[in-house]
Amino acid sequence: MENDALAPLRDLIARQFRANGRETPIDGLVLTSVTTPTGPIHAVYRPSLCVVVQGSKTSMLGEHAYRYDAGKCLIASMEVPIRAEITGASPDRPYLAFSLALDPATISDLLLALGPGKDTAAAPIALAVHALEPALIDPLCRLLALCDRPRDLPILSPLIQREITWLLLNGPMGRALRQVGLAGSPMARIARAIACIRDSFADQLSIRKLADVAGMSPATFHRHFKAVTTMTPVQYQKQLRLQEARRLLLSGDADVARIGYAIGYESPSQFSREYRRLFGQPPGRDGQEIRRVLTPQIGA
């Protein structure tokens, strides 16, 4: 895509970020503006459209890397824990991007209007990178501009988001989204199991129970789960547990052993070992470092 075509989006993101910061008045619309490359960022991607209009980023799902820069977008069609790094950013040319949550209920509703004839046979992976379709720029600009119009926002935002979802369903990114909206698709079944893991990640994992939730045999469930997320269910649960541990450390709780027990670990040494493997240093030291880095930003 020509860089000039992205200029309206760049200007809107920069202006709205100055006015609102990351969180916008539109539920599910989050902005990012970063002036230097970052180290690893650990997060859980939810069903969303992530668009980069300046700079570049790499997101890791398991061992699979997804690289996207200006004019590219990443579709997350399922909740997955990722490790990401912003690789292209500078004070003169900051990394500018936004993510927009996608509503599975809206996708299901629009599938009825979409009708038959679209390929929904295979289960795609949870993340995919595509070029941003030119037809999406106008509705995305209109959505961002609504942040300045609080009176219009509650009426027009749902309509524009529905328009964006419709365009996504009919474009090259539609295959993954159609799977999200189809109740009986392998991806939708895996999504139900993922919700079960998320809601009780501190409990002991039962593959049989998860397979029943997904309506599959244990072997079929395991195969589909790894195909979609690139992880086994146990690896997925571990990522959720350790990210929750980091959130608890960030909140100021310094009792590492108690945090380990709270997220499902019976052995403090195993918790510390696996935490260090994911985040690069032991939980106590990592928590101190995170708070040291963030405290000046919070006070500014």
Kindly report each contact of residues 145-154 with a partner whose C-beta sits within 8 Å and lies 24 or more positions away, as own/partner: 145/12, 146/25, 146/26, 147/16, 147/19, 147/20, 147/24, 147/25, 147/26, 147/29, 148/16, 148/19, 150/25, 153/25, 153/26
Give 272's contacts (C-beta < 8 A, 6+ positions apart). Answer: 256, 260, 282, 283
* CB-CB contact of 237 with 200 (8 Å): no
Walk along the chain (300 residues) and give the pLDDT tens digit of each residue.
556 899 999 999 999 999 989 999 999 999 999 999 998 999 999 999 999 999 999 999 988 999 999 999 999 988 999 999 999 999 999 999 999 999 988 988 898 887 765 554 455 678 999 999 999 999 999 999 999 999 999 999 999 999 999 999 998 888 878 877 776 678 888 989 999 999 999 999 999 999 999 999 999 999 999 988 999 999 999 999 999 999 888 876 668 899 999 999 999 999 999 999 999 999 988 888 776 765 544 332
As a whole number of angstroms, the distance between CA 34 and CA 56 comes to: 11
pLDDT for 116: 65
Predicted local confidence at residue 293, as pLDDT: 63
- CATH 2.60.120.10 correct for 3-181: yes
Tally Cβ neighbours within 10 Å of residue 124. Answer: 21
249: amino acid identity, one letter: L
Phi, psi for residue 54 in degrees, rounded to 5: -160, 140
pLDDT of residue 253: 62
Question: What H or E segment, with its residue span, contains residue 105?
Answer: helix 104-114
Q: State which CATH number among 1.10.357, 1.20.58, 1.10.10, 2.60.40 fits the domain covering 186-231.
A: 1.10.10
235-299 belongs to which homologous superfamily?
A: Homeodomain-like (1.10.10.60)
For 36, residues 6+ apart whose C-beta sits below 8 A from its C-beta are 89, 90, 91
Domain with CATH 1.10.10.60 in the chain: 235-299
CB 270 within 8 A of CB 256: no
* Confidence at residue 118, expressed as pLDDT on a 0 to 100 scale: 54
In the block, which residue shows the tokens 């949550």? Answer: 101
| Dihedral over alpha carbons 129, 143, 134, 88 (to 10 degrees) | -50
Tell me phi and psi for residue 127, to 5 degrees.
-125, 150
The overall pTM is greater than 0.75 = yes
Check residue 4 and report its DSSP letter: G
Q: What is residue 60's predicted lDDT score, i.e. its pLDDT?
A: 94
In the chain, residues under CATH classification 2.60.120.10 are: 3-181
Strands 127-131 and 72-76 turn out to be: antiparallel
